[in-house]
Chain A
Amino acid sequence: MTHIDIAADLNSEDETGLVWTFLDEATDPSIIKPGEFVVAGSPLTPAVCEVVDLVEKPAGTIVHLRVLPGTIEQFRRLLSRVGT
């Protein structure tokens, strides 16, 4: 099962047109920074996303995500080719 960095509903957009979720739904909130690539969604529906921004709101910190093209498997193959 794919590890999820931050739980989100990738159907859920707000007025920005971006996917949103709460920062405290991240397994490690310290990695959720603008420009970082993370795996978001659910174990059933994971996707690689770019963290666009974090917005402080009274109800909690909102994370805006941009879903990137490609599947987790395609990203895995890419990383396998380029090495570390």
Chain B
Amino acid sequence: MTDAREELRLRIRDEHPPLAAAAVIRGGPDSLALLQAHARRLNRLYKLDDAPVFGVSVFVVRDDLGPASERSILAAKLRSYPTVYRTTVGRLVAHGFDVLPTFTVPHFTVLIQSLDAVAELASAFGKRLINPYADGRGERL
């Protein structure tokens, strides 16, 4: 039987890995059920090295200015999110997660071993923070 999924490896960018201190940002709030749903969606469309893969999308800050800057990520990519999670590449790695540069800058995919790992992922993401650049921010204050 043919696997209908596409190879995620072909969507990984060839670039230097981000520093451990690089900020990782994801719009929220999330719940464990939502994280699992998102990881399942990736699993449905992609495989990695011909094996099943689960993962969750994040953005990684690579520059001080431009599209991969923290401000641009918060004000453009995540403008619809009034709150975000902010952690670091090093913290995710310390929790056992791989962080792959996938698709277009500054998008990354955090790989999770199984759907049960979303609780650990949520722990690594930490607390939600206010997105100061979110749409309608003024009316929410």
> Known contacts A11-B78, A13-B103, A58-B4: does B135 contact A69 (CB below 8 Å)?
yes
Q: Which residues of B contact A (CB under 8 A)?
A: 2, 4-6, 11, 26-31, 34, 37-38, 41-42, 44-45, 56-59, 77-81, 103-104, 107, 135-136, 139
CB pair B6 A9 closer than 8 Å = no
- 8 tightest Cβ-Cβ pairs between the two chains A and B: A58-B4, A47-B80, A71-B136, A9-B38, A12-B57, A11-B57, A59-B4, A17-B104
Q: How many chain A residues touch B (Cβ–Cβ < 8 Å)?
A: 28
> Known contacts A9-B57, A41-B80, A59-B5: does B104 contact A15 (CB below 8 Å)?
yes
- Can you identify 30 A-B contacts, CB atoms within 8 angstroms? A9-B34, A9-B37, A9-B38, A9-B57, A11-B56, A11-B57, A11-B77, A12-B38, A12-B42, A13-B57, A13-B77, A14-B11, A14-B103, A15-B104, A17-B103, A44-B34, A45-B29, A45-B81, A57-B6, A57-B45, A58-B2, A58-B5, A59-B4, A59-B5, A60-B45, A67-B79, A71-B80, A71-B136, A71-B139, A74-B139
Complex: chain B residue closest to A58, CB-CB: B4
CB pair A67 B57 closer than 8 Å = no
In chain A, positions 27-78 with a C-beta closer than 8 Å to chain B are: 41-42, 44-45, 47, 57-60, 62, 67, 69-71, 73-74
Which residues on the B side are within 8 Å of A44 (C-beta)? 28-31, 34
CB pair A15 B103 closer than 8 Å = yes
CB pair B58 A11 closer than 8 Å = yes
CB of A23 closer than 8 Å to a CB of B: no
Report the separation of the CA atoms of residues A22 and B103 in the bound assembly, to the nearest whole angstrom: 18
